[in-house]
A and B are shown apart, each in its own frame.
Chain A
Amino acid sequence: MSKMSAETSAWRRYLPLIGVGLIVIYCLLPFYWMVVSAFRRPNDQFDNSIIPAPFSIENIKDVFDPNNGFGRSLLNSLIVAGTTTILTLIVGLVAAYTLARLEFRFKNVMLGIIITTSMFPGISLVIPLLKLFVDIKWINTYQAMIVPSLSFALPLAIWTLTTFFRQMPRELEQAAMVDGCTPAQAFRKVILPLAAPGVFTTAIITFIAAWNEFLIAVSMIDKKEIQTANVVIQQFTGTSGRDQPFGSQMAAGVIVTVPLLIAVLIFQRRIVAGLTAGGVK
């Protein structure tokens, strides 16, 4: 009897750990395969060993071959995602603070409308904008990617920021205003510095969403010099002339993903807080 209960308690103890192990493997194994494939020699591309036998950075070199234009595309991605994030934060901060703090009619309706806009299928927005941008000669410009990106970035940012602002006690501004601040000063001098972590988290989430965007980028741009990394990667022709240069595509995938992953790993607590605040609350 006592042996059995000891056994069950051992199960109880280890089962969740096994489960956790499975989840980690589930999440990381495909990514690990990408990393391994990136560091194989191009000739060993179809080798299925678990570690790259002769470790090679040949693929990484291939990625930056001038034919691929990958370096340039990274810069383009940075410009597009960075500008989108900055614009989103400027506009979104004001709206989120208003929605979190001011009392006015139709507040929930407003919030509802703003969130709803993020649910519309991208293609329904892209097609008319594509036609418009052809007319006003915006095709192959950065703004042709940045402006439509606001359609999903702005609602996302407003939602997360609103939750962050709501978590901050109202007494903060009230105290500042009692001390003689105007509402605007109270926002700038008291709230904004305290909300900095939330703003920063929102910036990361927005940046990742914008960095990962594909549909807009592939629709609006057909000139190589201005394409983003996501578009360029899937068009790689490679230097060795095979059908699909998976080695260099995996290497490029690692390069595109690693900066995001570093940010995610450093700020994982905050990102989870931001995501669940937006998604659950």
Chain B
Amino acid sequence: MSEASPAETRPGKTQRVRRHDEGTGRLAAVLLSPTLIVLALVVVYPILSALRESLYTSGQRVDEEGFIVQGSEFVGLDNYTAIFSGEVGDRFWNAFYNTTFFTVTCVTLETILGVAMALVMHKAFKGRGIVRASILVPWAIPTVVSALLWKWIFQADGAANALIGAEILWSTEGWQSVLSVIIADTWKTAPFIGLLVLAGLQTIPEEIYEAAKVDGASPWQQFVRITLPLVKPALLVAVLFRMLDTLRIFDLPFVLVGPGKESVETLSILAFLEARETRYGPAAAYATILFLYVAVVAFMFVKLLGADVIGEKSGKPSKPVKGKRGRGKSVDRPTDSAAVGVGSAVS
């Protein structure tokens, strides 16, 4: 069926395009407008508004002549310069460091664990249903609930201390609270990365491995030369999404350790606490910096590593195709290069 379809659809497709060409652009615009309006209202407007807001200060203050100034006032980049100096600056850099540290550590751990899990699940023919179901358990538990759960485990006389026979005050301050956040985050999302990588693994045909075995490739060579390159597109997208998700980490440190704890305060928490004090200007400045940080990371990730987030490359024949419709192609193409790679590595 799939072999026949390209030949069949191609003439039909060009015909269809020619016939509807005039109207489709407009029709598409009409059909997409509700989505675009909603996203403009709940995403684009707030981002622009945050940019504007970050240039203002709001609330009451006293000006030089002793008059009370009410309402918001344009202060230019004052909110930003304030962030980078003095005590506020220390707090900001601490939050910035925490955010970055959590992202790097958690995503690294989750990726390694997730890939290992995916390999195990891929090898195991029995019990796949059970594994799949249990992997979804951490995913489905609300982050707040899992934060409470880990807080409970990390209580002074809780399960974690009983298990390791220590008396660590986990969720107070310092390295132990950082560690507790990392453990909780890894628990919740490593299986999810495993799930995505497993889906990628399942698109690799068994013949490649057989060919590699015939050529005498060791399991490690097979993993590095075949599995990793072929699973890379799926892995990159999973890692990118986890990175962006961890950069905005909020619920977990907020509930597990608590607000205002220096060792786990992230940019999101800092901005949230400022907003709760109705200091919208500085809050918006923090939020804007976080937004730019996320944007830069996403951009660099896509540019440097070529993560194919929307599958746009699937249309181009030169790249491996990931979409269902191009599955026939996607198995063929990398096969050659991977087999060559293994062959050269072995010889």
Contacts and interface: CB of A to CB of B under 8 A. Distances in A.
Interface in B198-248: 198-200, 233-234, 237-238, 241, 244, 247-248
B234 A280 contact: yes
Interface in B115-156: 117, 120-121, 123-127, 129-153, 155
Contacts of A15: 123
Given A125-B42, A214-B251, A234-B255, A16 B124 contact: yes
A170 interface: yes
Nearest to B133: A268
Interface residues of A, number: 96
A233 B153 contact: no
B331 interface: no
A177 B147 CA distance: 53
A94 B31 contact: yes
Contact of B250 (A107, A120, A123, A260): A123
A129 interface: yes
A276 interface: yes
Contacts of A131: 49, 53, 280
A250 interface: yes
Nearest to B292: A124
Contact of B145 (A104, A114, A120, A253): A253
Interface string A128-144: 11111000000000000
Contacts of A151: 39, 42-43
Contacts of A27: 134-135, 137-138, 191
B275 A120 contact: no
B304 interface: no
B136 A268 contact: yes
B284 A127 contact: yes
Contacts, number: 306
Contact of B199 (A127, A167, A261, A276): A276
Contacts of B283: 127
Q: Do most interface residues of chain A lie in helix, strand or loop, or is the interface mixed?
A: helix
Nearest to B21: A103
A275 B46 contact: no
A163 B28 CA distance: 17
A31 to B, nearest CB: 5
Given A19-B123, A151-B43, A166-B324, 14 more contacts: A23-B117, A23-B120, A33-B149, A102-B31, A104-B28, A104-B29, A117-B43, A119-B241, A121-B291, A127-B53, A132-B49, A174-B16, A250-B152, A281-B324
Interface of B: 5, 9, 12, 16-17, 20-21, 24-25, 27-29, 31-32, 34-35, 38-39, 41-47, 49-50, 53, 117, 120-121, 123-127, 129-153, 155, 157-159, 162, 187, 191-192, 194-196, 198-200, 233-234, 237-238, 241, 244, 247-248, 250-251, 255, 267-268, 271-272, 275-276, 280, 283-284, 286-288, 290-291, 294, 298, 309-312, 315, 322-325
Interface of A: 15-17, 19-20, 22-24, 26-28, 30-31, 33-34, 37, 46, 48, 91-92, 94-95, 97-99, 102-105, 107-108, 110-117, 119-132, 147-148, 150-151, 154-155, 158, 163, 166-167, 169-170, 174, 208, 211-212, 214-215, 219, 230-231, 233-234, 244, 246, 249-250, 253, 256-257, 260-261, 264-265, 268-269, 271-272, 275-276, 279-281
